[in-house]
């Protein structure tokens, strides 16, 4: 009986985890509609890859994860743009960005939550790494789970 219960729980957990991850590797990005310096759909990014990070400035764990990620991503800054998407209004970004290690982080405002909804964001910090030319997803998940090895493999593999 315990084995049957364990199998049922494992099956339910698998189903729920699949539903919680709407983005699949290699698929095109969902629609993006934000206010940013790189266009409402982020098509003006001039780097080979971009990492979108869904965030809120009042979430201390999110800010800490972003700070750690920007430090981790420093070796790939020539090829990787970092875009912070927030539902907040403009005005907070200078204070928040001053705590990060790079000056070229892009802040985008999703004032009507349409981009949060199209990406089905259920937690922050939620990250998506994609190839900017093809707009195909290379990685997605909790930003705290994106490590140096994964980032190196994405950029090294795709740049050959």
Residue ranges per domain, the chain?
Answer: 25-158
User: pTM here?
Assistant: 0.80
Per-residue pLDDT reduced to its tens digit, 81-91:
999 999 988 76
Alpha-carbon span 36 to 20, nearest angstrom: 27
In the chain, pLDDT over 70 holds for what percent of residues?
Answer: 76
pLDDT at 37 over 90: no
Vertex 46 angle, CA 42 and 50, to 5°: 60
Per-residue pLDDT tens over the stretch 38-52 = 888 899 999 999 999
Is 3.10.20.30 the CATH number for 25-158?
no
**Cα–Cα distance, 76 to 90 (Å, whole number):** 28
What value does the mean pLDDT take over residues 13-23? 50
Whether pLDDT at 6 is above 80: no
Determine the pLDDT at residue 29. Answer: 95
């Amino acid at each position: 009986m315990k084995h049957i219960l364990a199998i049922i729980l494992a099956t339910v957990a698998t189903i729920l985890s699949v539903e919680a991850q709407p983005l699949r590797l290699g698929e095109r990005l969902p629609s993006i509609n934000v206010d940013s310096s790189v266009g409402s759909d982020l098509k003006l990014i001039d780097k080979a890859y971009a990492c979108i990070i869904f965030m809120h400035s009042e979430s201390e764990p999110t800010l800490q994860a972003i700070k750690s990620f920007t430090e981790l991503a420093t070796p790939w800054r020539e090829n990787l743009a970092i875009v912070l998407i927030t539902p907040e209004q403009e005005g907070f970004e200078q204070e928040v960005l001053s705590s990060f290690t790079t000056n070229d982080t892009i802040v985008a405002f999703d004032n009507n939550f349409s981009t949060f909804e199209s990406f089905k964001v259920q937690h922050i910090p939620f990250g998506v790494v994609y190839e900017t030319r093809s707009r195909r997803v290379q990685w997605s998940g909790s930003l705290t789970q994106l490590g140096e090895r994964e980032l190196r493999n994405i950029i090294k593999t795709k740049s050959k």
